[in-house]
Structure 1
Amino acid sequence: MIDPYEVLGVAREADGAAIKSAYRKRAKNAHPDTGGDVDLFSRLTTSYELLADPIRRKVYDETGYDPDLADTKDLQGLVILETLVNEMILDEREPGTFDPVAAMRRKLTDKVVSARFHILEMERHRARIRNHLDRMARKPGTDVLGRMLRARGQTISDAITKAEAEIITIEQAYGMLDGYAYEVEPAEVKDAAE
């Protein structure tokens, strides 16, 4: 996630005039028409637009999130975390009696392990298909079985690629949990309160 304050080089308390001034100063050097960096200019403009809009700025300040500043991996990670946050909200246990952040990490770790196991299984099947193809003589004319086996192998390869991308997304979501901790009440305090 891009930090618009950092991109523009302004403090979080900066007023509209300071934000506009910082944008103009930095955009002047980054503008593509003057030989500047297109990507930097785009980030500057997006950051300025966010901070110039009071509603978007308020949402960003409160959540640290803005869809225009998020990269695709972040958005995919947020979708995964959204599901886990919903599970945390729906959990009937009393807050403080369990660690929902640790539970999220465990669930994400379990998803990665499951996806890796699934990849290993698919690789085993793909290797079996290759072995069959190596042993099978081609039928003259149309090679129906060969085409079917190659198509199946390609489908498995595509599924492996998809599972590998899913692991990257899950790891992105896991990384978004870095720095979070949750305070769980010690058992003695809970027992004394009852």
Structure 2
Amino acid sequence: MTDPYEILGIGRDASEEQIKTAYRKRAKTAHPDSGGDVDTFGRLQKAYELLLDPVRRKLFDDTGYDVELTDAVDLQALVAIEKLITDMVLDEREPGTFDPVAHMRASLMDEIRKANFSKSELERHSDRIRLHLDRLGKRPGKDVVGHMLRARIKAIATAISETEAKIDATERACDMLEGYLYVMDTPMLEEEEPTSDVEWDDAPEARSAAQ
């Protein structure tokens, strides 16, 4: 995640006027017309717009994320967590009777396991196709079979890349959940059988009096 405060070189308590002053100062050298880099100037503008928007600025201060400045992996991770938040909100169980954060972590870890398995299967499938392709000795001028096999390998490579991206995003989502501690209700213990305040074996006088 790109930090807009670092881009502008200001503190997190900077006022609106300080934000504008810092932007003007950096824009003089960052602007492409002044020999600056287009991407750098673009990030400078986005950081400036974020910090001048009180709603976006508060959201960034609270979460450390902003849609405009978040990289693709972080954005996918946020989408994954958003889906889990929906599940948490729709769960009818009483708050405190289950740990929704632990459930979210478990769901993400399960997704990572499934994705890793899928990646392994795709790689194995691709290796098999390559072996078939290698064994195609003499081929006609128009190699239809070879073309189709190579196309399959290419498609599988794309699927593997997408699966790896999903794994990275899910792992990032797990990182985002680190540090949370959900407070559970203390389970009620069954009431014990009432006992007499008098220990008869240790108090013969009391036993005699009772008789």
Say which SS state the counterpart of residue 187 (structure 2) adopts: helix
Match of 2:174 in 1: 174
Match of 2:15 in 1: 15
Seen in structure 2, the aligned counterparts of structure 1 residues 139 and 13 have a Cα distance that, compared at 3 Å, is closer
Question: CA-atom RMSD, angstroms?
Answer: 2.8
1:19-48 CA deviation, whole Å, 9 max, x = no partner?
Answer: 222323343454444455554443332222
More helix, by proportion: 1
1:136-185 CA deviation, whole Å, 9 max, x = no partner?
Answer: 3334343333333332222222222221222122222222223x312232
Match of 1:84 in 2: 84
Q: Structure 1 residues 33-42 or 65-74, which shifts more? A: 33-42
Paired positions, count: 191
1:36 and 1:147 map into 2 onto residues whose CA distance is 46
Alignment of 1:85-164 (within 5 A): 85-164=85-164
1:124 and 1:145 map into 2 onto residues whose CA distance is 20
TM-score by length of 2: 0.74
2:173 and 2:29 map into 1 onto residues whose CA distance is 35
TM-score by length of 1: 0.80
- Quote the offset at 1:117 in angstroms: 0.9
Seen in structure 2, the aligned counterparts of structure 1 residues 148 and 26 have a Cα distance that, compared at 3 Å, is closer
1:7-29 CA deviation, whole Å, 9 max, x = no partner?
Answer: 33434343221222232334345
Percent identity between matched residues is: 56
Seen in structure 2, the aligned counterparts of structure 1 residues 44 and 156 have a Cα distance that, compared at 3 Å, is closer
1:86 and 1:95 map into 2 onto residues whose CA distance is 15
Is structure 2 residue 193 aligned with structure 1 residue 190?
Answer: no
Structure 1 residue ranges without an equivalent (≥5) = none
1:97 and 1:89 map into 2 onto residues whose CA distance is 14
Seen in structure 2, the aligned counterparts of structure 1 residues 26 and 144 have a Cα distance that, compared at 3 Å, is closer
Seen in structure 2, the aligned counterparts of structure 1 residues 48 and 146 have a Cα distance that, compared at 3 Å, is closer
Seen in structure 2, the aligned counterparts of structure 1 residues 96 and 7 have a Cα distance that, compared at 3 Å, is farther
Structure 2 residue ranges without an equivalent (≥5) = 190-211
Question: Larger C-alpha radius of gyration, 1 or 2?
Answer: 2
1:33 and 1:147 map into 2 onto residues whose CA distance is 49
1:6 and 1:144 map into 2 onto residues whose CA distance is 56
Seen in structure 2, the aligned counterparts of structure 1 residues 125 and 34 have a Cα distance that, compared at 3 Å, is same
Seen in structure 2, the aligned counterparts of structure 1 residues 9 and 154 have a Cα distance that, compared at 3 Å, is closer
Q: For the Cα contact (< 8 Å) 1:100–1:182, is it kept in 2?
A: no
Q: Structure 1 residues 140-149 or 79-88, which shifts more? A: 140-149
- Quote the offset at 1:115 in angstroms: 1.1
Match of 2:205 in 1: none
